[in-house]
Amino acid sequence: MSDNVKNRILSIDVLRGLVMILMALDHVRDFWSFTNFSPENLEQTYAALFYSRWITHFCAPVFVFLSGVSTYLHMTAKGMEKKQFSKFLISRGVWLILVEVTWISFAWQLWTYDSFYLQVIWTIGISMICLAGFIHLPKKVILVISLVMIFGHNLLDGVKPEIFGDFYWLWNILHNQTYVTTPSLPIRGFLAGYPCIPWIGVMALGYVMGTIFTKPVEQRHKDLLKIGGGTVILFIVLRFLNIYGDSTPWEIQERGFAYTVMSFLNTEKYPPSLLFLLMTLGPSLILMPYMDRMTGKMGDFLQVYGKTPFLFYILHLPLVHISSYILYYFYYRTDSSSFRSHSSWSAAYEPSMLRWYLVTVFIVLLFYFPCKWFGEYRRTHKQWWLSYL
């Protein structure tokens, strides 16, 4: 959410900037150092790979939650009436969905573009459209709705899309990640990558908690530490008991204690289980009071990306994808390979964590000055379209 307000909250920009960099790390892995097994597969993974993937799990929950917070702060700072703001949320939500199914879906596929990828930007768009209706309700009602979605959606895990007949695809969009073919449409199909129900709840929760960020700094920090600490404790208790909140229970691993810890942390992202959201949002809330004190060079650096997340997102993705083909062409001497397609890999290809991290650093630094320039431009200009970027 682009909130061009006078008094920005440092921790929001810093945390959002950090998760944007982690997001780039994950996307570079997708195209530059892909493996033929999931980094979360405890039978094949190793600690460096597992945790490099695990830390990126914080991206989507934090980004969606902060979008809700920024929505509230934007509305209050501008003094907008709810009816007027609802129209803005709907138009911005539709815009994000349009970008997701065109530019971003194309960036994931390039010249094989024949499907819609409904991922995090789509989810934020849908959540904003829903929030446009929620904001007319009392905040306590919005809080209840958000908590029911977050805490209750795992009760729906056993519901099969087939019971909805011809509307099975709708359940996939709402709760069940899968690829849906669409023979009656000019596209091959769509990937329901981020099922909507829990994510709508996360944004609504961010909107309600936006009131915390209007409090004096000391009170805000106390509230964030209290809520974040309680969330982490709840995650540990529920995860340890293995009674509810995730489709895959943790188990003691034969490979030792380190892998048992990985099993404990290996929660479901698609859709995000209750434990996945507790595991990621809790520590993030705890970190925010400390990020309010990051007034040095590191804080300044992270703010650049935190103030321009959408621009960074839409620019970095096609570059990461295109550059992977260039690597294949010049290093592996083939122009028919894709990192995300195991069958097309060159026999000489091997994943490399060093290559993965170095390319991530390069991509992040490459967009530093463009993002910094745009952030300053948006701060000093008032054109209507800036609110959509």
What is the pTM assigned to this prediction? 0.93
**The predicted structure's pLDDT at residue 86:** 96
Burial of 264 (0-12, 13-18, 19+ CB in 10 A): buried
Average pLDDT over residues 199-227: 97
Give the separation between CA 305 and CA 298, rounded to whole angstroms.
Answer: 12
- Tokens representing 73 are 């702060």
Instruction: Give the lowest-confidence range in 164-168, 257-261, 336-340.
Output: 336-340
* Contact yes or no for 273/154 (Cβ under 8 A): yes
DSSP single-letter state for residue 185: S
Backbone angles phi, psi at 383, to 5 degrees: -60, 145
Give the separation between CA 219 and CA 242, rounded to whole angstroms.
Answer: 35
Q: In the sheet where 115-118 sits, what is the strand order?
A: 115-118, 189-192, 179-181
85 has a pLDDT exceeding 80: yes
348 has a pLDDT exceeding 90: no
* Contact yes or no for 337/344 (Cβ under 8 A): yes
Give the number of other Cβ atoms within 10 Å of residue 176's Cβ: 19
Predicted confidence band at 335 (pLDDT cuts at 50, 70, 90)?
Answer: low
324 has a pLDDT exceeding 90: no
Of 7 and 187, more confident: 187
82 has a pLDDT exceeding 70: yes
**The predicted structure's pLDDT at residue 258:** 96
Task: Evaluate the CA torsion angle 250, 253, 259, 260 in order and state its sign.
Answer: positive
Positions of E strands within the chain: 115-118, 179-181, 189-192
**The predicted structure's pLDDT at residue 278:** 98
**The predicted structure's pLDDT at residue 336:** 55
Predicted confidence band at 388 (pLDDT cuts at 50, 70, 90)?
Answer: confident
**The predicted structure's pLDDT at residue 384:** 82
* Contact yes or no for 165/143 (Cβ under 8 A): no
* Contact yes or no for 190/104 (Cβ under 8 A): no
- Percent of the chain clearing pLDDT 90 (strictly above): 76
Report the DSSP beta bridge partners of residue 24.
none
**The predicted structure's pLDDT at residue 5:** 44
**The predicted structure's pLDDT at residue 2:** 42
In one letter, which amino acid is 122?
W
Burial 117-148 (b: 16+ CB within 10 A, else e): bbbbbbbbbbbbbbbbebbeeeeeebbebbee
DSSP single-letter state for residue 103: I
Count Cα atoms within 13 angstroms, Cβ side, for 51. 7
Highest mean pLDDT (candidates 76-85, 112-121, 271-280): 271-280
Give the number of other Cβ atoms within 10 Å of residue 296's Cβ: 8
* Contact yes or no for 346/337 (Cβ under 8 A): yes
**The predicted structure's pLDDT at residue 184:** 80
Average pLDDT over residues 185-193: 88
